[in-house]
Amino acid sequence: MPELTILIIEAINLVYLYAIYLPIAGTGNSSDTLQISYEGNPVASSMLSLLYGHYTGNELLDYVLTTIVVLFGLASITALGMAVGSIMSLFSRRMKLIIIIGTPIFLIVLAIYISNLNIHLFSTTWIYDFAKVIVGAGAHPVEEHFNPFAPMVSGTIFIAIMLFVSRYFNLKLKVRTD
């Protein structure tokens, strides 16, 4: 039920943004409807609109594609939550507590370690190239807009894997008889 609530709120947010706010705050030029001005500087209405919002050149189609990318992102987060929940259900309360406390600490230490590394080392690795393919970045992502179909395909694959993991671990559950 929370997933449905998130989808409804996101839909209301997008309708408000494109139907009410941007026509009022926009410059009036139909090609600038995805742009708003902040202290005199044009900025994108959202990060996803900036990345995927001008892929086809058709405003309506770009809006629909950006909305689909947002929905795939929400579905991916939902599927990940289901998989993590089904895995966590197999642990005892004590282990759940250790994992819930230990994982953020580990991730913070890992983020500090990675931030201290030279960032140019990552741009020459296969991980960087793989991440660019997943998000739909081209050879020169600054000069062109991202391909919205790449996150749709990678999102579909990710969702399928997470749903399989969730189903697999849910089948491992045993009914308690105590």
Tell me how far apart the alpha carbons of residues 13 and 26 are, in angstroms, rounded to a whole number. 17
Contact 148, 66 (CB under 8 A): yes
Tell me how far apart the alpha carbons of residues 165 and 58 are, in angstroms, rounded to a whole number. 38
Tell me how far apart the alpha carbons of residues 36 and 177 are, in angstroms, rounded to a whole number. 60
* Confidence (pLDDT) at 121: 66
E strands in 27-176: 35-38, 41-44
**Residuewise pLDDT in 10s, the chain (178 residues):** 566 676 677 777 767 766 776 666 654 444 444 444 444 444 444 666 777 777 777 777 887 888 888 888 888 999 999 999 999 999 999 999 999 999 999 999 988 887 777 666 666 777 778 888 888 886 555 556 788 888 899 999 999 999 999 999 999 887 766 5
Cβ neighbours for 166, distance < 8 A, ≥ 6 positions apart: 79, 82, 83, 85, 86
Burial class (CB in 10 A: 0-12, 13-18, 19+), 69: buried
* Confidence (pLDDT) at 154: 92
* Confidence (pLDDT) at 144: 64
